[in-house]
Amino acid sequence: MTLPLLALIAGLILLVWSAARFVDGAASAARHFGMPPLLIGMVIVGFGTSAPEMVVSAFSALQNNPGIALGNAYGSNITNIALILGVTALISPIAVHSLVLRKELPILTAVTVLAVFQLWDGELSRSDAFVLLGVFASLMIWTVWQGLHKKSDSLGNEIEQELEGRAKPLGRSLFWLGLGLVLLIASSRLLVWGAVEIALAFGVSDLIIGLTIVAVGTSLPELASTIIAARKGEHDIALGNVLGSNLFNTLAVVGIAGSIQPMKVASEVISRDMSVMIVLTVSLFLIGYGFRGAGRINRYEGAGLLVCYLGYTIYLVSSNFSRL
C-alpha cells in the first residue's frame, strides 16, 4: 500500500511541475516563431494546461480503466469551474472583458450538452469519440482564425504582457518543452498506476478516484495559473484558463480516450456527474457572459461555486463508503 501511495504523490508533484515547464517552453517557443499572443493563449496554453488530463486519460484507456479516463476529464471540468473559479473569485472577483471569451462561453455550454447526449445510451463508442475529435478540430480552426485575424482583444493584451515577462532564448524554450513532455508522460503513468492500486486496496471504484484525487491533481496547473493571473488583475487569462481547459477536456481528452478504447459508461456518470457538470457550465455561462455589459463573477458567486464543489465531493465520498 505504501508504494502505490508514494507513486500517486510523486506522480502528482511531477505532473504539476512538468506541465508548468511544458507550457512555458511551448508558449515561449511559439512566440519565437512569430505566433500572435492571442493564438498562443487560446491554443498553446489551452493545450498545455490540459496535457495532464490528456495523457492520464489516454494511459487509463490503454490500461482498460474507463472510470479514471472519464472521471479525470469530467471531474477536472467540475473542479475547474466549482473549485478553481470559486477560490479565485473569493480572492479577486473576475471581470470578463474579452469578446473571444464571451464567444467561448456559449460554445462550452453547447459542447457539454453534446457530451451528455453522446453518453445517454450508456456507452462511449469510437464513432462518438471521432465526433468529439471532429468538433475539436473545427473549434481549433475557428480559434486559429480568431487569433490570426482579431487585431486587438483584452485577452491577447494580457497574454502579451505575460510573455514579455517570461521571455527565454529559443534553445532553452525547446529544452523545457521536450523535458516537460517526457516527464509529463512518465508522471502520468506513475499516477495512473498508483491511483488504480489504491482504488483496489480500499475497494473504491476507479471512477471515484478519477473524479476526486486524479481530477484535482491534473487541475493543479490551472489552479495555480488562474489564481496568479487573478491576483495580477489579468481576469481574462484567469477565466480563459478554465474555458480552454474544459473545452479540451470534453472534446480532446474524452475523444482521444474513446478512440483508443470504447467504454461502457456507468449510470451514475450521467445521473450524477454529468448533471453536476452541465448545471455548473450553464451557471458559468449565465453569470460570466454579461448580457448587459462585461461579465463578472463576484465573491458571492465564487462562494456559491465553492460550496457546490464541497457538497459534491462530500456526497461522492460518503455515498461510496456507505456501500462498502
**Residue 227 main-chain phi, psi, to 5 deg:** -65, -45
> CB–CB of 44/249 below 8 Å?
no
Single out the residue of 183, 205, 207 nearest to residue 324, CA to CA. Answer: 205
> CB–CB of 65/211 below 8 Å?
no
How would DSSP label each residue in 247-263? HIIIIIIHHHHHHHS-E
The CA distance from 36 to 27, in Å, is: 11
The predicted structure's pLDDT at residue 124: 93
The CA distance from 142 to 101, in Å, is: 13
**Residue 96 main-chain phi, psi, to 5 deg:** -105, 110
- Tell me, rounded to whole angstroms, the distance of Cα 267 from its chain centroid: 23
CA distances to 16, 105, 142, 252 from 146, in Å: 29, 15, 6, 20
Structural domains present in the chain: 46-153+194-322 (1.20.1420.30)
pLDDT, one tens digit for every residue, the chain (324 residues) = 788 889 888 888 888 788 778 777 777 777 777 767 666 766 777 777 778 888 888 888 988 888 888 999 999 999 999 999 999 899 888 877 666 677 788 899 999 999 999 999 999 999 999 999 999 999 888 877 876 766 566 666 666 666 666 667 878 888 888 888 888 888 888 888 888 888 778 888 888 888 888 888 888 777 877 887 777 777 777 787 788 889 999 999 999 999 999 999 888 888 899 999 999 999 988 887 766 666 678 899 999 999 999 999 999 888 876 665
Single out the residue of 70, 3, 85, 8 nearest to residue 257, CA to CA. Answer: 70
pLDDT 10s digits, 97-129: 666 677 788 899 999 999 999 999 999 999 999
